[in-house]
Structure 1
């Protein structure tokens, strides 16, 4: 019975450690900026960080170094803090991450947020060839040119959530595109830069119109979406994904708990069976020993009688 209790105690400690390990898994926070990830020089920017409802402290890191820390004003489902940059400069442009604390545990860092300062150099010019209006299936090329030599150019489509295209060059680069579909419709701008976080003034917008060919059935949005609206849409999507991650984590934790309890019951049963087997084995050995002693005693008695 003592060994069974020891086994149960050991398994209880193992299960508690498993549950404790589950609690140490904190979902990483989400991070975003407003009004945009591209901020004109001198304009203020707000950085938001959202953790779990139990988060009690946040830290903001800039290029790997602690930049600011803050506690949420109120706990709850929308546990969000805001960090304020009064004026965007090349010194505040770069990569940001945030983490949060729940009780004594710290989360993993958020995905990186790259903030870009714009309006740092001359204004480039953007053109498209063979023209701003083409039929689907054709190829087009955007040309971005800057009077002052630089080393990298970026091409962005307004309302597009993907990362901007980039090409290396001194004063002019080409952005080939195609075969185009109606999904390529939209307004494009280009920037020049000397690094990934300091860009020129934006070029004048160039609107690409792709007319449908007879065999083209692709669909594309026709409404213009600003970068600011895009961030709102991204925020709603990211919050939904964040809540979904929390739900998946809770489901996983419950499954681990059920598996741990089933394992505890199984091993406890095995311990009881082993205990019973050992008890029977010892009883049998004790009975065999007593029988052997009795036979020896009878043998010695018989020999004395024979003499």
Structure 2
């Protein structure tokens, strides 16, 4: 198996257990390329030098980058690439790591005016609300590798909050959701809201 220069498969990057990481807990970034990979490099946006380099694990097509205790230092966007006998691959799509719960107080509430049981085709909006004056909000679905959806603060009487329109509903929207609040000048997010389970019937 050989690849012409510039045709190496683009690597895949993901985080376990997920990209939304509570403060102080471990997270692993995985990068997967091809079986001919000789080493993997991880870059963090905003840093001019490679963040970390690892050798591939058996069978040789991926590497792991471990963060033992998540803090705001590790929050940000990451990309990885790998070295093969024919040269370096392109960089992966970005992975955004988010740290939550640096301040355990002020967790927002998550609700939906439609109720938690919805039908396919119905419109669905999840509302994140807080009595803390957060500037931005994020919505995350449990088990998803996708980065959280972000929204700026929307004016509410006596509250800060944001609406996340998800409809029209399909079966894939069912699941457990949480939301977070944050301030513009910080990479940290609040503790998560209590979870909201959406059931599609």
Q: Same fold (TM over 0.5)?
A: yes
Report the equivalent of 1:174: 163
Q: Which has the larger radius of gyration?
A: 1
Runs of 5+ consecutive residues of structure 2 not aligned to the other structure: 155-159
Q: Is the 8 A contact 2:18 2:143 kept in 1?
A: no
Change (3 A) 1:27 1:182: closer
Q: Is the 8 A contact 1:48 1:80 kept in 2?
A: yes
Between the aligned partners of 1:140 and 1:188, the Cα distance in structure 2 is 13
Report the equivalent of 2:175: 186
Q: Which has the higher strand share?
A: 2
Secondary structure at the counterpart of residue 4 of structure 2: helix
Q: Which has the higher helix share?
A: 1
User: 1:66 Cα shift?
Assistant: 0.8
Report the equivalent of 1:149: 133
Aligned length: 190
Q: Is the 8 A contact 2:110 2:193 kept in 1?
A: yes
Secondary structure at the counterpart of residue 148 of structure 1: coil
Highest RCO, 1 vs 2 (Cα 8 Å, sep ≥ 6): 2
Q: Is the 8 A contact 2:180 2:189 kept in 1?
A: yes
Between the aligned partners of 1:72 and 1:32, the Cα distance in structure 2 is 15
Report the equivalent of 2:191: 201
TM-score, normalised to structure 1, is: 0.54
Match of 2:87 among 79, 89, 105: 105
Within a 5 Å distance, the mapping from 1:47-126 to structure 2 comes to: 47-63=29-45, 64=47, 65-72=49-56, 76=59, 78-103=60-85, 105-121=87-103, 122-126=106-110
Runs of 5+ consecutive residues of structure 1 not aligned to the other structure: 1-19, 212-307
Q: Is the 8 A contact 2:124 2:167 kept in 1?
A: yes
Flag as ranges the 4+ runs of structure 1 deviating above 6 A: none
Q: Is the 8 A contact 2:136 2:181 kept in 1?
A: yes
Change (3 A) 1:104 1:143: closer
Q: Is the 8 A contact 1:114 1:197 kept in 2?
A: no
TM-score, normalised to structure 2, is: 0.78
User: 1:95 Cα shift?
Assistant: 0.9
Between the aligned partners of 1:106 and 1:29, the Cα distance in structure 2 is 11
